Amino acid sequence: MKILRSILSDDLPRSRWLTLVLLAILIGLAVAPFAFPGAKSLNVAARICVFIVLAASFDLLLGYTGIVSFAHTMFFGIGAYGVAIALTKLGASWTSVAIGVGSGLALAIVLAVLIGLFSLRLRTIFFAMITLAVASAFAILASQLSDITGGEDGLNYRLPELLRPSFRPWEGMTGRLIDYYIVYGVSLALVLGLLRIVNSPFGSVLMAIRENPFRAEAIGYRTVVYRTLASCIAAAAAALAGALLALWSAQASPDTTLSFDIMVDILLMVVIGGMGTIYGPAIGAVVLVLAQNYLQALLGDRWLLWLGVAFILCVYFFPTGIVGRLRRR
């Protein structure tokens, strides 16, 4: 029990039902390649892993710090394009992957610092508009620089040999499975890292700033510095999520990494699951990715209508999200 508390940074689910849901997600994703065979099921499981990290990192901004940012997909795209460009220009090697991940992380953190230092002193709505403008400009730039980014069509590239579907180190194991478990393992490590951050003294300061920034400033905390640091951590996590998606899909394009629709999806995941809890975005990501991939097949062209109705009902009956509801039970 003490080891479990340490792994979860002493942030236990505090609900039997929530514990069961989280265990189902953890174990389900771990055994997904064998329990749900098929290319589509494996692709859905990998996307769930990626979007859990992406939604949890956005919750660090929105739920824990009170920052409304529409630039999160920009950092996601930077991570994906960093790996994609490196593998395209430098060849399919692990050195290229390392260079791509490092470059994407560095660029994402630098942009997060610039946006934070120049914009976080503004009121919430103005900061949100600035991030939206920056993200839109970056998406347009990625579409126009076709020599580097592939333009609207994006980039297709070869992965290192270990991750290729044709690679078979032994019977029953393929490069595709190795790729999936890399995505799963890194995603789990990133979520646990974010959980550690929000339950640290640094996370307590972020929540104090969220509740009353003027009081936090009055007692000695430099709110702009803490908000900028939170933005950098969230941007780094989003860039790593983008790198994982690039390693999984072997393709990067504006539609799959920089689209504003992805930003809306992230916001829905956080709200449905429950803001201010790392567990909430994880559950929200599972619900929304499954709905996007399977609800359309069941309900046809009107699936978005029913998804919208379900979201309205969820907000009405679960104002604190699924996690808040389960914890109250």
Sketch out the chain's domains with CATH numbers.
Answer: 2-328 (1.10.3470)
What is d(CA 145, CA 243) in angstroms, rounded to the nearest whole number?
A: 20
What's the whole-number average pLDDT of the chain?
89
Query: In this predicted structure, what is the pLDDT of residue 120?
Result: 64
The one-digit pLDDT tens for each residue of the chain (329 residues) are 677 777 777 788 888 899 999 999 999 999 999 888 888 899 999 999 999 999 999 999 999 988 888 999 999 999 999 999 999 999 889 999 999 999 999 999 999 998 887 766 666 778 888 888 889 999 999 888 888 898 888 899 999 999 988 888 877 788 899 999 999 999 999 999 999 999 999 999 999 988 888 888 888 888 888 999 999 999 999 999 999 999 999 999 998 899 988 998 999 999 999 998 999 999 999 999 998 888 777 777 777 788 788 778 877 777 788 898 888 76
Asked whether 257 and 80 are in contact (CB, 8 A), the reply is yes
- In this structure, are residues 228 and 116 in contact, taking their beta carbons and an 8 Å threshold? yes
Cα gap 254→262, rounded to integer Å = 11
- CB-count exposure of residue 221 (10 Å: 0-12, 13-18, 19+): middle
* Of 238, 252, 307, the residue nearest 69 (C-alpha): 238
Cα distance between residue 47 and residue 307, in whole Å: 19
Sign of the dihedral through C-alpha 175, 51, 260, 301: positive
Threshold 0.75, pTM exceeds: yes
The one-letter code for the residue type at 116 is: G
Please give the DSSP secondary-structure letter assigned to residue 251. Answer: E
Task: Tell me what pLDDT residue 121 has.
Answer: 67
Q: What would the DSSP string read from start to end of 75-114? A: HHHHHHHHHHHHHHHH-SSHHHHHHHHHHHHHHHHHHHHH
CA–CA dist 248, 156 (Å, integer): 12
Per-residue model confidence as pLDDT tens digits over 97-107? 999 999 999 99
